[in-house]
Amino acid sequence: MKKITYVINGEARHLHVEPNDVLLDVLRDKLGLKSPKCGCDRGDCGACAVLLDGKSVRSCLILAIECDGMAIETVEGIGQDGLSALQEKFIALNSFQCGFCAPGVTISATELLRNNPRPTLDDVKEALSGNLCRCTGYTPIIEAVLQAGNEGGEHGKL
């Protein structure tokens, strides 16, 4: 066991991990953050995405111990001061059906909009290309991200 520290959703957390603990399992089972989901467990589906020092990563492909001292943001953090402009759009447009892919999509789209507040359709498709959704056909998801970009943009709560 090694003692490590994360800044999770703005709050410092100390925990003990084994070298072979996977970040996704630690987030869900040790820290109680259930927004990252385990879909494929091998980097293909994007359901486990979180922001690591601001960049989207697949938490199923990262060892917990590798992230010592880093900042991790999950959907719990994105929504902690009220829904973001993007989340509002997802609701308004009924973007999801079962919702299993929603946390991962939210992470990818949040990263996009923070770096590129006015994305084009191609930008959105590229940003979400690693997030699989088996329900929606993607159209209402992509539309929400585009609208959040056009209306929320730099001034929104992304």
**Interaction between residue 46 and other proteins (CB under 8 A):** yes
Q: How far is the CB of 43 from ligand FES (least distance, A)?
A: 5
Select the span of 40-48, 73-81, 86-94, 149-157 touching other proteins (CB under 8 A): 40-48
As measured in angstroms, the least distance from the Cβ of 46 to other proteins is: 6
What are the start-end ranges of the H helices in 57-96?
Answer: 75-78, 85-92
How far is C-alpha 88 from the geometric centre of its chain's CA atoms? 16
Pick the closest to residue 115 from 52, 49, 55 (CA basis). 55
Q: Is 47 in the site for other proteins (CB under 8 A)?
A: no
85: left (phi over 0), alpha (psi -120 to 50) or beta: alpha
Residues that bind ligand FES (CB under 6 A): 38-41, 43-48, 58, 60, 96-101, 133-136
